[in-house]
Amino acid sequence: MSDNRQLFDVGWMMGDKERDQEIKRREYLQERYSLISSKSGQVKLFDKTLILIATGALTLSIAFIRDIIPDIKPSTSGLLKVSWACFSISLLFVLLAYLFSKFAYQKAITDLWDFIYKDIKKINYWSILVDFLNVSSVIAIFIGVIYLVLFSARNL
């Protein structure tokens, strides 16, 4: 409501078409802000979930091996090592993605001015790197789970 009042304060200088465009632009910006805030919350939740899954799988596998499979077949120790490496890599990728997302947001904020006022669209390489790290982390978790299952199946 206050946006419309502010628009009314200067809107008398605009024609009907410009006023309608300004109202649509402000509505668009409000909705965009809302969507970006929601996305930011989802990204944080996604990162936390990946960290929880990777650390949980690593911890659970260590406890599982200590309690259930005390005598590991020598030919299968490589499967376990690959599994642990994948979980560790996944954690590293999530932490790096979390770190680099700060740079991605800063770049997006900086580039927004050029996009809105100069109609210049720039590529945010930080954002691409963060997406790559997140996808790689998910893949590493899946590979780690597969190797852990293979290890468990061959030792039970």
Question: In this structure, are residues 69 and 155 in contact, taking their beta carbons and an 8 Å threshold?
Answer: yes
- Please tell me the predicted confidence (pLDDT) of residue 1: 46
Helix, strand, or coil here: 120?
coil
| pLDDT tens string 5-16 | 554 555 556 677
Q: CB of 97 within 8 A of CB of 133?
A: yes
| Digit-coded pLDDT (tens) for 101-119 | 888 888 887 887 777 777 7
Q: Answer yes or no: is pLDDT of 2 > 80.
A: no
State residue 10's pLDDT score: 53
Task: Evaluate if residue 83 carries a pLDDT over 90.
Answer: yes
